[in-house]
């Protein structure tokens, strides 16, 4: 039996609040998980709380069959793809799924987003489309280097080597989707060579690590002691 890991629980909570602070957590649905190190378990939150409402008691331990450990509270039905991905991709340590407005608008197009700016190049040739959110569907299309999954007419999933990476990728994926959805079809996509060069530059600049720090600051600034109240622009 694994011991409770409060550090990981707090990582999930911080991720939920950070996503909420960025406007990705006002409704029921969506989930964040973090793998328990070296054991077939992971932490994820319950289904009946939004990212904005999440508290530490809402973060539960699950086994790789998707069953809660020492709790009767229900997770999302979408829990299946979390342990499925962890089994298939040992490099993945954290997973984020949401129904953010722009992410869902992108999913309605049933395709990967166009690459139209520099920070989005991290998704170039590393994003796949799954016909459904069950793991049987995802397993068939998920490549060894993929970091994002579009689920048509549903939402998206991002993966990371740690929770900060998965969350920052999710927030930038929402930004990427917004550009794709709002810019006209004739807007030129970035050429292959430029995508590859800019991706290396963005990675060298540690952009996603700094983005995670920004998301953490936003989470603290918008938490009022009981819930996150996102700043609406």
Q: What pLDDT was estimated at residue 4?
A: 84
Report pLDDT digits (tens) over 35-45: 999 999 999 99
Q: Is residue 192 part of a domain?
A: yes
Q: Is the pLDDT of residue 3 over 70?
A: yes
The pLDDT score that the predictor gives to residue 232 is 67
Confidence of residue 8 (pLDDT cuts 50, 70, 90): very high
pLDDT in tens, 109-133: 999 999 999 999 999 999 999 999 8
- Give pLDDT tens digits for 168-188: 999 999 999 999 999 999 999
Instruction: Residue 89: give the domain boundaries.
Output: 6-222
Asked whether residue 63 is domain-assigned, the answer is yes
Number of domains into which the chain is organized: 1
In a domain, 65, yes or no: yes
Give the per-residue pLDDT at 74.
76
Span 214-232, pLDDT tens digits: 999 999 999 999 999 997 6
Question: Mean of the pLDDT values across residues 73-98?
Answer: 93
Q: Residue 233 above 60 pLDDT?
A: no
pLDDT at 227: 96
What is the pTM for the complete model shown? Answer: 0.96
Average pLDDT score, the chain = 94
* Residue 51 within a domain: yes
Share of the chain above pLDDT 70, in %: 99
> Residue 1 falls within a domain, yes or no?
no
CATH code, domain with 31 = 3.40.225.10
Asked if residue 232 is part of any domain, the answer here is: no
Residue 227 lies in a domain: no
Is 58 a residue whose pLDDT tops 90? yes
Find the mean pLDDT for residues 3-32.
93
In a domain, 231, yes or no: no
**3-class DSSP string for the chain:** CCCCCHHHHHHHHHHHHHHHHCCCCCCCCCEEEEECCCCCEEEEECCCCCHHHCCHHHEEEEECCCCECCCCCCCCHHHHHHHHHHHHCCCCCEEEEECCHHHHHHHHCCCCCCCCCHHHHHHCCCEEECCCCCHHHHHHHCCCCCCEEEECCCEEEEEECCHHHHHHHHHHHHHHHHHHHHCCCCCCCCCHHHHHHHHHHHHHCCHHHHHHHHHHHHHHHHECCCCECCCCC
């Amino acid at each position: 039996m694994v011991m409770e890991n409060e550090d990981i629980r707090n990582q999930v909570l911080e991720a939920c609040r950070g996503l909420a602070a960025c406007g990705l957590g006002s409704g029921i649905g969506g989930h964040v998980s973090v793998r328990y190190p070296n054991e077939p378990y992971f932490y994820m939150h319950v289904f009946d709380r939004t990212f904005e409402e999440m508290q530490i008691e809402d973060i539960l331990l699950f086994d790789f069959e998707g069953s809660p450990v020492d709790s009767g509270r229900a997770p999302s039905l979408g829990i299946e793809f979390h342990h499925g991905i962890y089994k298939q991709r040992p490099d993945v340590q954290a997973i984020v799924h949401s129904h953010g407005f722009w992410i869902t608008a992108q999913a309605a197009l049933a395709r990967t987003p166009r690459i139209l700016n520099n920070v989005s190049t991290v998704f170039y040739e590393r994003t796949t489309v799954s016909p459904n959110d069950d793991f049987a569907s995802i397993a068939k299309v998920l490549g060894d280097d993929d970091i994002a999954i579009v689920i048509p007419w549903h939402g998206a999933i991002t993966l990371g080597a740690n929770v900060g990476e998965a969350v920052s990728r999710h927030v930038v994926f929402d930004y990427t989707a917004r550009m794709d959805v709002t810019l006209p079809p004739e807007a030129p996509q970035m050429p292959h060579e430029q995508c590859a060069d800019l991706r290396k530059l963005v990675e060298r600049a540690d952009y996603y690590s700094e983005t995670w720090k920004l998301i953490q600051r936003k989470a603290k600034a918008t938490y009022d002691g009981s819930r996150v109240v996102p700043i609406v622009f």
